[in-house]
A and B are shown apart, each in its own frame.
Chain A
Amino acid sequence: MAQHSEELEMAPDAAEAWPDRIYDLLKEHNIRQVALVPDAGHSRLIRRCEADNEMRVVTLTTEEEGVAQLFGTWLGGQKGVLLMQSSGVGNCINMLSVAVAHRTPLPMIVTMRGEFGEFNPFQVPMGQATPAVLEAMGTLVRRADRPEDVAPTVEATLRLAFNTFRPTATLIGQRVLGAKTFGK
Protein backbone atom coordinates (compact mmCIF):
# COMPACT_ATOMS: atom_id res chain seq x y z
CA MET A 1 0.00 0.00 0.00
CA ALA A 2 1.27 3.45 -0.85
CA GLN A 3 2.42 5.58 2.00
CA HIS A 4 1.28 9.11 2.56
CA SER A 5 3.69 11.67 1.16
CA GLU A 6 4.22 13.29 4.54
CA GLU A 7 5.62 9.98 5.74
CA LEU A 8 8.13 9.84 2.88
CA GLU A 9 9.30 13.42 3.21
CA MET A 10 11.05 14.90 6.18
CA ALA A 11 9.77 18.12 7.66
CA PRO A 12 10.73 19.68 10.97
CA ASP A 13 8.33 19.33 13.87
CA ALA A 14 5.97 22.30 14.10
CA ALA A 15 7.40 23.08 17.55
CA GLU A 16 10.93 23.46 16.19
CA ALA A 17 12.07 27.08 16.21
CA TRP A 18 15.02 26.92 13.80
CA PRO A 19 13.08 27.61 10.58
CA ASP A 20 11.81 30.84 12.14
CA ARG A 21 15.35 31.74 13.22
CA ILE A 22 16.52 31.33 9.61
CA TYR A 23 13.72 33.65 8.50
CA ASP A 24 14.79 36.21 11.12
CA LEU A 25 18.36 36.05 9.81
CA LEU A 26 17.21 36.54 6.22
CA LYS A 27 15.41 39.68 7.37
CA GLU A 28 18.41 40.93 9.35
CA HIS A 29 20.59 40.57 6.28
CA ASN A 30 18.02 42.28 4.05
CA ILE A 31 17.52 39.27 1.78
CA ARG A 32 15.08 40.35 -0.92
CA GLN A 33 15.04 37.43 -3.39
CA VAL A 34 14.48 33.86 -2.25
CA ALA A 35 15.08 31.36 -5.04
CA LEU A 36 14.04 27.79 -4.37
CA VAL A 37 13.02 24.37 -5.43
CA PRO A 38 10.79 23.21 -2.58
CA ASP A 39 11.87 20.70 0.02
CA ALA A 40 9.73 19.48 2.89
CA GLY A 41 12.55 20.43 5.24
CA HIS A 42 12.26 24.05 4.10
CA SER A 43 8.44 24.14 4.01
CA ARG A 44 7.99 26.26 7.13
CA LEU A 45 10.68 28.74 6.07
CA ILE A 46 9.16 28.97 2.58
CA ARG A 47 5.77 29.83 4.07
CA ARG A 48 7.33 32.61 6.16
CA CYS A 49 9.09 34.05 3.10
CA GLU A 50 5.95 33.86 0.97
CA ALA A 51 4.02 35.80 3.61
CA ASP A 52 6.62 38.61 3.51
CA ASN A 53 5.85 41.37 0.99
CA GLU A 54 9.46 42.53 1.00
CA MET A 55 10.73 39.15 -0.16
CA ARG A 56 10.35 37.94 -3.72
CA VAL A 57 10.00 34.17 -3.68
CA VAL A 58 10.96 32.64 -7.04
CA THR A 59 10.11 28.98 -7.48
CA LEU A 60 12.50 27.45 -10.01
CA THR A 61 12.15 24.61 -12.47
CA THR A 62 15.68 23.47 -11.57
CA GLU A 63 18.12 24.66 -8.94
CA GLU A 64 20.75 25.95 -11.38
CA GLU A 65 18.25 28.62 -12.40
CA GLY A 66 18.64 29.99 -8.90
CA VAL A 67 22.42 30.27 -9.18
CA ALA A 68 21.96 32.29 -12.37
CA GLN A 69 19.14 34.38 -10.92
CA LEU A 70 21.10 35.37 -7.82
CA PHE A 71 23.96 36.60 -9.99
CA GLY A 72 21.46 38.99 -11.61
CA THR A 73 20.11 39.88 -8.17
CA TRP A 74 23.56 40.97 -7.01
CA LEU A 75 24.21 42.84 -10.27
CA GLY A 76 21.12 44.87 -9.45
CA GLY A 77 22.18 45.59 -5.88
CA GLN A 78 19.89 43.22 -4.00
CA LYS A 79 20.74 40.21 -1.85
CA GLY A 80 19.29 36.75 -2.33
CA VAL A 81 19.49 33.23 -1.01
CA LEU A 82 19.01 29.81 -2.63
CA LEU A 83 17.04 27.13 -0.78
CA MET A 84 17.17 23.54 -1.95
CA GLN A 85 17.49 19.86 -1.06
CA SER A 86 20.81 18.04 -1.34
CA SER A 87 19.75 16.37 -4.60
CA GLY A 88 19.40 19.83 -6.13
CA VAL A 89 23.06 20.62 -5.51
CA GLY A 90 23.90 18.23 -8.31
CA ASN A 91 21.82 20.33 -10.69
CA CYS A 92 23.93 23.43 -9.92
CA ILE A 93 27.45 22.24 -10.61
CA ASN A 94 28.52 24.07 -13.77
CA MET A 95 26.42 27.16 -13.03
CA LEU A 96 28.42 27.66 -9.82
CA SER A 97 31.28 28.77 -12.08
CA VAL A 98 29.28 31.98 -12.62
CA ALA A 99 29.51 32.94 -8.95
CA VAL A 100 33.15 31.86 -8.71
CA ALA A 101 34.31 33.77 -11.79
CA HIS A 102 32.33 36.94 -11.08
CA ARG A 103 32.98 36.80 -7.30
CA THR A 104 29.27 36.85 -6.56
CA PRO A 105 27.94 36.40 -3.02
CA LEU A 106 25.83 33.23 -3.21
CA PRO A 107 24.51 31.84 0.09
CA MET A 108 22.77 28.47 -0.15
CA ILE A 109 20.79 26.66 2.53
CA VAL A 110 20.60 22.95 1.80
CA THR A 111 18.40 20.42 3.57
CA MET A 112 20.14 17.04 3.55
CA ARG A 113 18.73 13.70 2.47
CA GLY A 114 20.37 10.37 1.98
CA GLU A 115 22.48 10.38 5.11
CA PHE A 116 20.56 9.59 8.31
CA GLY A 117 17.87 6.95 8.33
CA GLU A 118 17.06 7.50 4.66
CA PHE A 119 14.15 5.59 3.14
CA ASN A 120 14.68 6.34 -0.56
CA PRO A 121 17.74 4.80 -2.24
CA PHE A 122 17.84 7.54 -4.89
CA GLN A 123 18.58 10.17 -2.24
CA VAL A 124 21.79 8.50 -1.10
CA PRO A 125 24.25 9.12 -3.98
CA MET A 126 23.77 12.88 -4.20
CA GLY A 127 23.28 13.21 -0.46
CA GLN A 128 26.65 11.62 0.13
CA ALA A 129 28.29 13.67 -2.61
CA THR A 130 26.81 17.05 -1.65
CA PRO A 131 29.67 18.49 0.44
CA ALA A 132 32.34 17.18 -1.94
CA VAL A 133 30.56 18.58 -4.98
CA LEU A 134 30.06 22.00 -3.44
CA GLU A 135 33.63 22.20 -2.20
CA ALA A 136 34.98 21.01 -5.56
CA MET A 137 33.22 24.04 -7.08
CA GLY A 138 34.70 26.51 -4.65
CA THR A 139 31.91 26.74 -2.09
CA LEU A 140 32.61 27.19 1.63
CA VAL A 141 30.52 24.50 3.32
CA ARG A 142 29.41 24.37 6.96
CA ARG A 143 27.11 21.78 8.58
CA ALA A 144 24.46 21.98 11.27
CA ASP A 145 23.55 18.63 12.80
CA ARG A 146 21.69 19.87 15.86
CA PRO A 147 18.72 22.27 15.88
CA GLU A 148 20.57 24.79 18.04
CA ASP A 149 23.42 24.90 15.49
CA VAL A 150 21.23 25.85 12.53
CA ALA A 151 20.89 29.59 13.12
CA PRO A 152 24.56 30.29 13.94
CA THR A 153 25.65 28.25 10.93
CA VAL A 154 23.24 30.01 8.57
CA GLU A 155 24.40 33.36 9.92
CA ALA A 156 28.03 32.39 9.25
CA THR A 157 27.06 31.31 5.74
CA LEU A 158 25.35 34.64 5.01
CA ARG A 159 28.26 36.65 6.40
CA LEU A 160 30.87 34.63 4.52
CA ALA A 161 28.99 35.07 1.25
CA PHE A 162 28.34 38.81 1.45
CA ASN A 163 31.56 39.81 3.19
CA THR A 164 33.93 37.69 1.11
CA PHE A 165 32.10 37.44 -2.27
CA ARG A 166 31.79 33.74 -2.99
CA PRO A 167 29.37 30.81 -2.89
CA THR A 168 28.75 29.48 0.62
CA ALA A 169 26.43 26.79 1.97
CA THR A 170 24.88 25.57 5.18
CA LEU A 171 23.96 21.91 5.10
CA ILE A 172 21.16 21.12 7.54
CA GLY A 173 21.64 17.49 8.55
CA GLN A 174 18.87 15.01 7.97
CA ARG A 175 18.79 14.23 11.67
CA VAL A 176 17.69 17.81 12.35
CA LEU A 177 14.82 17.43 9.90
CA GLY A 178 13.26 14.67 11.92
CA ALA A 179 13.87 11.12 10.85
CA LYS A 180 10.87 10.10 12.93
CA THR A 181 8.48 11.07 10.13
CA PHE A 182 9.35 7.87 8.31
CA GLY A 183 6.59 5.55 7.30
CA LYS A 184 8.46 2.40 8.26
Chain B
Amino acid sequence: MSGTTIETGKTGKMKRRPLVRELLRGRENAPGGGLLAIGGLGAPAWDITAAGDVPENLPLWGGMGGAAMMGLGLALAQPSRRVLVVTGDGEMLMGIGALATIAVQKPANLSVVVLDNEHYGETGMQETHTRHGVDLAGMARAAGIADSRLITDAKDVPALREAIHAGQGPLFAQVKIDESSEPLVLPPREAALLQARMREAILGPEAHLQ
Protein backbone atom coordinates (compact mmCIF):
# COMPACT_ATOMS: atom_id res chain seq x y z
CA MET B 1 0.00 0.00 0.00
CA SER B 2 1.53 3.30 -1.01
CA GLY B 3 0.52 6.33 0.99
CA THR B 4 -2.17 5.93 3.57
CA THR B 5 -5.79 6.43 2.87
CA ILE B 6 -8.07 5.63 5.72
CA GLU B 7 -11.75 5.44 5.03
CA THR B 8 -13.81 8.19 6.61
CA GLY B 9 -17.36 8.13 7.91
CA LYS B 10 -20.27 10.54 7.61
CA THR B 11 -18.58 12.99 9.96
CA GLY B 12 -15.55 13.15 7.67
CA LYS B 13 -13.43 11.64 10.43
CA MET B 14 -11.49 8.41 10.12
CA LYS B 15 -13.30 5.14 10.72
CA ARG B 16 -11.99 3.10 13.62
CA ARG B 17 -11.46 -0.28 11.98
CA PRO B 18 -9.19 0.77 9.11
CA LEU B 19 -7.30 3.08 11.48
CA VAL B 20 -6.52 0.30 13.96
CA ARG B 21 -5.68 -2.10 11.14
CA GLU B 22 -3.17 0.43 9.83
CA LEU B 23 -1.56 1.00 13.25
CA LEU B 24 -1.11 -2.75 13.68
CA ARG B 25 0.07 -3.39 10.12
CA GLY B 26 3.42 -5.16 10.15
CA ARG B 27 3.24 -5.66 13.92
CA GLU B 28 5.10 -8.97 13.63
CA ASN B 29 8.15 -7.09 12.35
CA ALA B 30 8.32 -4.56 15.17
CA PRO B 31 11.79 -4.39 16.74
CA GLY B 32 12.27 -6.69 19.70
CA GLY B 33 9.67 -9.20 18.54
CA GLY B 34 6.05 -8.78 17.61
CA LEU B 35 4.16 -5.80 18.92
CA LEU B 36 1.85 -6.57 21.87
CA ALA B 37 -1.59 -4.94 21.85
CA ILE B 38 -4.09 -4.35 24.64
CA GLY B 39 -7.60 -3.37 23.57
CA GLY B 40 -9.65 -1.41 26.09
CA LEU B 41 -13.14 -2.49 27.13
CA GLY B 42 -15.69 -2.11 24.37
CA ALA B 43 -15.16 -1.31 20.72
CA PRO B 44 -11.33 -1.02 20.89
CA ALA B 45 -11.22 -4.67 21.99
CA TRP B 46 -13.34 -5.60 18.97
CA ASP B 47 -11.18 -3.37 16.74
CA ILE B 48 -7.89 -5.10 17.58
CA THR B 49 -9.66 -8.45 17.17
CA ALA B 50 -10.96 -7.46 13.72
CA ALA B 51 -7.37 -6.70 12.71
CA GLY B 52 -6.45 -10.30 13.61
CA ASP B 53 -7.33 -12.43 16.64
CA VAL B 54 -3.74 -13.31 17.55
CA PRO B 55 -2.16 -14.37 20.87
CA GLU B 56 -0.28 -11.05 21.00
CA ASN B 57 -3.65 -9.34 21.56
CA LEU B 58 -5.22 -8.86 24.95
CA PRO B 59 -8.80 -7.67 24.34
CA LEU B 60 -10.48 -6.57 27.56
CA TRP B 61 -13.98 -7.59 28.56
CA GLY B 62 -13.83 -5.50 31.74
CA GLY B 63 -11.54 -3.54 34.02
CA MET B 64 -12.76 -0.19 32.72
CA GLY B 65 -10.14 2.47 33.38
CA GLY B 66 -7.28 -0.01 33.61
CA ALA B 67 -6.05 -0.47 30.03
CA ALA B 68 -3.22 2.08 30.11
CA MET B 69 -1.89 0.76 33.44
CA MET B 70 -1.99 -2.79 32.11
CA GLY B 71 0.14 -1.55 29.26
CA LEU B 72 2.57 -0.02 31.74
CA GLY B 73 2.97 -3.26 33.70
CA LEU B 74 3.51 -5.19 30.47
CA ALA B 75 5.93 -2.62 29.03
CA LEU B 76 8.04 -2.64 32.20
CA ALA B 77 8.10 -6.45 32.27
CA GLN B 78 9.05 -6.71 28.57
CA PRO B 79 11.22 -3.66 27.87
CA SER B 80 12.43 -4.98 24.51
CA ARG B 81 8.91 -5.46 23.12
CA ARG B 82 6.67 -2.74 21.75
CA VAL B 83 3.40 -2.38 23.68
CA LEU B 84 0.38 -0.58 22.22
CA VAL B 85 -2.72 0.18 24.24
CA VAL B 86 -5.72 1.00 22.05
CA THR B 87 -8.62 2.30 24.08
CA GLY B 88 -11.59 4.63 24.04
CA ASP B 89 -12.11 8.14 25.35
CA GLY B 90 -14.53 6.99 28.07
CA GLU B 91 -12.18 4.25 29.23
CA MET B 92 -9.22 6.64 29.32
CA LEU B 93 -11.16 9.28 31.23
CA MET B 94 -12.06 6.74 33.92
CA GLY B 95 -8.38 6.01 34.57
CA ILE B 96 -6.95 9.41 33.71
CA GLY B 97 -4.48 9.34 36.62
CA ALA B 98 -2.60 6.63 34.73
CA LEU B 99 -1.24 9.35 32.44
CA ALA B 100 0.62 10.83 35.41
CA THR B 101 1.88 7.44 36.56
CA ILE B 102 3.08 6.54 33.05
CA ALA B 103 4.71 9.94 32.58
CA VAL B 104 6.74 9.43 35.74
CA GLN B 105 7.79 5.89 34.77
CA LYS B 106 8.73 6.91 31.18
CA PRO B 107 8.51 3.49 29.50
CA ALA B 108 10.05 4.02 26.03
CA ASN B 109 8.26 1.00 24.59
CA LEU B 110 4.70 2.01 25.55
CA SER B 111 2.20 3.82 23.34
CA VAL B 112 -1.35 4.67 24.31
CA VAL B 113 -3.75 5.50 21.49
CA VAL B 114 -7.20 6.77 22.37
CA LEU B 115 -9.84 6.28 19.69
CA ASP B 116 -11.85 9.36 20.49
CA ASN B 117 -15.40 9.20 19.16
CA GLU B 118 -16.56 11.55 21.94
CA HIS B 119 -19.20 9.06 23.07
CA TYR B 120 -19.78 6.03 25.28
CA GLY B 121 -20.41 3.69 22.36
CA GLU B 122 -21.39 0.55 24.25
CA THR B 123 -24.12 2.10 26.35
CA GLY B 124 -26.19 4.15 23.95
CA MET B 125 -23.86 6.84 22.60
CA GLN B 126 -24.01 9.20 25.55
CA GLU B 127 -21.52 12.05 25.19
CA THR B 128 -18.16 11.91 26.99
CA HIS B 129 -16.24 14.91 28.26
CA THR B 130 -14.16 15.03 25.08
CA ARG B 131 -17.36 16.01 23.27
CA HIS B 132 -17.27 19.14 25.40
CA GLY B 133 -13.67 20.07 24.77
CA VAL B 134 -11.67 18.02 27.25
CA ASP B 135 -8.26 17.78 25.64
CA LEU B 136 -6.79 14.36 26.41
CA ALA B 137 -3.58 14.97 24.45
CA GLY B 138 -3.12 18.22 26.33
CA MET B 139 -3.64 16.43 29.64
CA ALA B 140 -1.09 13.78 28.68
CA ARG B 141 1.41 16.43 27.68
CA ALA B 142 0.84 18.35 30.88
CA ALA B 143 1.37 15.15 32.83
CA GLY B 144 4.80 14.87 31.24
CA ILE B 145 4.35 12.59 28.22
CA ALA B 146 6.30 14.79 25.82
CA ASP B 147 5.21 12.97 22.66
CA SER B 148 1.48 13.58 22.93
CA ARG B 149 -0.41 14.02 19.70
CA LEU B 150 -3.89 15.09 18.69
CA ILE B 151 -4.60 13.50 15.33
CA THR B 152 -7.55 14.47 13.17
CA ASP B 153 -6.23 13.74 9.69
CA ALA B 154 -5.21 10.48 8.03
CA LYS B 155 -2.06 12.11 6.72
CA ASP B 156 -0.61 12.01 10.25
CA VAL B 157 -1.28 8.30 10.74
CA PRO B 158 1.85 6.91 9.01
CA ALA B 159 4.10 8.90 11.32
CA LEU B 160 2.06 7.72 14.30
CA ARG B 161 2.40 4.12 13.20
CA GLU B 162 6.14 4.51 12.69
CA ALA B 163 6.59 6.04 16.13
CA ILE B 164 4.58 3.27 17.82
CA HIS B 165 6.66 0.60 16.10
CA ALA B 166 9.94 2.45 16.75
CA GLY B 167 9.33 2.52 20.48
CA GLN B 168 10.85 5.86 21.42
CA GLY B 169 8.07 6.84 23.75
CA PRO B 170 6.25 6.94 25.93
CA LEU B 171 3.78 8.11 23.33
CA PHE B 172 0.19 9.24 23.70
CA ALA B 173 -2.18 9.91 20.81
CA GLN B 174 -5.76 11.08 20.83
CA VAL B 175 -7.21 10.27 17.41
CA LYS B 176 -10.54 11.79 16.54
CA ILE B 177 -12.61 9.10 14.85
CA ASP B 178 -16.02 8.77 13.28
CA GLU B 179 -18.71 7.85 15.79
CA SER B 180 -20.37 5.16 13.68
CA SER B 181 -20.22 1.71 15.20
CA GLU B 182 -18.91 -1.33 13.37
CA PRO B 183 -20.10 -4.93 13.29
CA LEU B 184 -19.12 -6.85 16.44
CA VAL B 185 -15.98 -8.95 16.04
CA LEU B 186 -15.78 -10.70 19.38
CA PRO B 187 -12.62 -12.28 20.77
CA PRO B 188 -12.75 -15.30 23.11
CA ARG B 189 -14.57 -14.41 26.33
CA GLU B 190 -12.61 -16.81 28.53
CA ALA B 191 -10.15 -14.37 30.10
CA ALA B 192 -7.86 -17.07 31.52
CA LEU B 193 -7.30 -18.22 27.94
CA LEU B 194 -6.57 -14.67 26.78
CA GLN B 195 -3.98 -14.25 29.52
CA ALA B 196 -2.40 -17.67 28.96
CA ARG B 197 -2.12 -17.33 25.20
CA MET B 198 -0.36 -13.97 25.39
CA ARG B 199 2.00 -15.24 28.09
CA GLU B 200 2.85 -18.25 25.96
CA ALA B 201 3.40 -16.04 22.90
CA ILE B 202 5.89 -13.97 24.90
CA LEU B 203 7.51 -16.56 27.15
CA GLY B 204 7.04 -19.85 25.31
CA PRO B 205 5.91 -23.02 27.08
CA GLU B 206 7.79 -21.86 30.19
CA ALA B 207 4.91 -19.43 30.70
CA HIS B 208 2.88 -22.20 32.26
CA LEU B 209 5.65 -23.42 34.55
CA GLN B 210 6.52 -20.06 36.13
A pairs with B: yes
Are A77 and B191 within 8 A (Cβ)?
no
Q: Which stretch of B71-79, B112-120, B154-162, B169-177 is in the interface?
A: B71-79
Binary CB contact string for chain A from 20 to 53 against chain B (1 if under 8 A, 0 otherwise):
0000000000001101000000000000000000
Is A9 part of the binding interface, using a Cβ–Cβ cutoff of 8 Å?
A: no
Max chain A C-beta neighbours (<10 A), residue from B73, B81, B104, B202: B73
Choice from A33, A102, A162 contacting B73 with Cβ under 8 Å: A33
User: Which residues in window 66-96 of A have CB below 8 A to B?
Assistant: 66-78, 80, 94-95
Instruction: Tell me the total A-B contact number using a CB cutoff of 8 A.
Output: 123
* A71 vs B62: C-alpha distance when bound (angstroms): 13
User: Which residues in window 60-103 of B have CB below 8 A to A?
Assistant: 60-67, 69-78, 81, 95, 97-98, 100-101
Is B141 part of the binding interface, using a Cβ–Cβ cutoff of 8 Å?
A: no
Closest to A162 in B: B210
Q: Which residues of B contact A102 (CB under 8 A)?
A: 191-192, 194-195
Is A155 part of the binding interface, using a Cβ–Cβ cutoff of 8 Å?
A: no
Q: Is the interface of B mostly helix, strand, loop or mixed?
A: helix
* A59 vs B104: C-alpha distance when bound (angstroms): 9
Are A98 and B63 within 8 A (Cβ)?
yes
* A70 vs B69: C-alpha distance when bound (angstroms): 8
Q: Which residues of A contact B71 (CB under 8 A)?
A: 72
Kindly list the 10 A-B residue pairs having the minimum CB-CB distance in the complex, ordered from nearest. Answer: A72-B73, A76-B77, A68-B66, A61-B97, A72-B74, A68-B69, A69-B73, A78-B77, A101-B191, A73-B73
Could you give 25 example pairs across A and B, Cβ below 8 Å? A33-B73, A56-B76, A58-B72, A58-B105, A61-B98, A65-B69, A65-B101, A68-B65, A68-B98, A69-B73, A71-B195, A73-B76, A75-B36, A75-B70, A75-B202, A76-B73, A76-B77, A76-B202, A78-B76, A95-B65, A97-B62, A102-B195, A103-B191, A103-B192, A103-B195
